[in-house]
Structure 1
């Protein structure tokens, strides 16, 4: 049976062929391990907010590229000439019936596109940007550390190794997350974008309330729509996370104490 992530990019999840003018386009700008897949699926399930997945992360969407008859390079990229046509195909298949199209973007993918095909950026300028972050920086960094070293980005993936707690690597992940947030916020400032900022924790606590507010902010009428049966990804929470958090707190306190003594 295919993993849920494979199904999310398959033909069974397409809306159909939308040939009208898009009412609006939005970008879900985010950072790894901030709950972006959960957020994207919650938005998708409404039937009013498109299907905001990682269509421009070419190293990740090989299946959908091949399904649409685009042959990716070994690096997972498609030719510059093919990108615009591919984008048009994606928009036709993944625009919800009310004319809304959304896509998810990590900062590293945005920067890669800006370096490789800067002219294409004009074609993906969204009407709105939803900026998703996570308040629990330590939890996010621990999750990032585990995912990077095990290559296990989603629950349910098989044949992935377990990894050991690594204080230094978690600190590196904290720094990386903060750098990625700063990078997004610099891009918002440079382009004059005022994003709609939401937090993963708020979405978990009250997804209906957060989504109602998003619809209002983007001027999307809450038209009657049947909730779509888009499968959610299982959350990756376990006892290891709690153990790592305790150890990280202890190691941080010890490091701070040593630093204080050294500075005296």
Structure 2
């Protein structure tokens, strides 16, 4: 595939249940900041929006530069640390994507993130626009496992930045939810857009899923698992 001159893009490097779908829809709604999605998750793309999405990684890269781009030749993608492992034996994806910038999206409330993930695993509801397949029940061991995975996902990205000297644009879930327009402005500044983009809010359909159940589970987990004399090994 021949890449058009001047194309540039960004990768949102994050972990599950970080509000990344919410952020991606806000960015995509501008029409000038690409269409960031999990392009290296071909099963997810086929399920949500493209039944013919390619399984081959070369085809996925082509989709990033076409499906993931807006007419001003800015593309976007989203990737979790464990998704890097799916593709790294076949392609150096960072070198394959031209003029790539980095956004690091994290969540301050790590336990809340793990609770959200555990609940999504049980219900099958990973987005507010999806129906729940079954009710969720409190499972301390499942929350603990997802907390462990999230700690490692976060550590891998931090090590990547420390080792390479890459300075990403850092965004926090809590601040993105409170003021998504500010997050959009920061990404636009990073990509060198001279005019601030307008958003089409009709295209933002994902809403925050956290409710009182999440808070109750987090409180119960700390009561049952919060022994201060234990320092976890991850």
TM-score tier (shorter): 0.7 to 0.9
Q: Which residue of 1 aligns with 2:154?
A: 181
In structure 2, list runs of 5 or more residues that go unmatched: none
Q: Please name the residue that 2:173 is paired with.
A: 200
Question: CA, structure 1 residues 224+33, in 2 after alignment: closer, same or farther (shift >3 Å)?
Answer: closer
Residue 144 of structure 1: aligned partner: 117
Determine if contact 2:30/2:198 at 8 Å carries over to the other structure: yes
* C-alpha distance in structure 2 between counterparts of 1:103 and 1:168, whole Å: 32
The alignment's TM-score, normalised by the length of structure 2, stands at 0.84
2:52 is aligned, of 67, 72, 88, to 67
Question: Do the aligned residues in 1 keep the contact of 2:107 with 2:173 (CA within 8 Å)?
Answer: yes
SS in 2 for 1:59: helix
Q: CA RMSD in A?
A: 2.5
**Within 2, Cα distance between the matches of 1:188 and 1:125?**
19
Give the 3-state SS of the residue equivalent to 2:104 in structure 1: strand
Note closer, same or farther for the CA distance 1:224–1:51 as it changes in structure 2 (3 Å cut).
closer
Question: Which of residues 20, 25, 37 is equivalent to 1:41?
Answer: 25
CA–CA separation in structure 1 for the residues paired with 2:201 and 2:4? 21
Residue in 2 that maps onto 1:57: 41
Question: Which runs of no fewer than 5 residues in structure 1 stay unpaired?
Answer: 1-18, 71-77
Match of 1:245 in 2: 218
- Does structure 2 retain, via aligned residues, the 8 Å contact 1:113–1:121? no
Cα gap change, 1:42 to 1:175, in 2 (>3 Å)? same
Distance 1:183 1:215, change over 3 A: same
Provide the C-alpha distance between the structure 2 equivalents of 1:108 and 1:175, rounded to a whole number of angstroms: 13
Q: Does the CA-based 8 Å contact 1:138-1:174 persist in structure 2?
A: yes
Q: Are the aligned partners of 1:141 and 1:173 in contact in 2 as well (CA < 8 Å)?
A: yes
- Greater C-alpha radius of gyration: 1
What corresponds to 1:92 in structure 2? 66
More helix by share: 1
**Alpha-carbon contact 2:39-2:45 (below 8 Å) kept:** yes
Check the 8 A contact 1:44/1:228 in 2, yes or no. no
Give the length in aligned residue pairs: 227
**Secondary structure of the structure 2 residue equivalent to 1:94:** coil
1:12-52 deviation per Cα after TM superposition (whole angstroms, max 9, x unaligned): xxxxxxx8534421101110000000011111112221110
1:53 Cα offset (Å): 0.7
TM-score by length of 1: 0.75
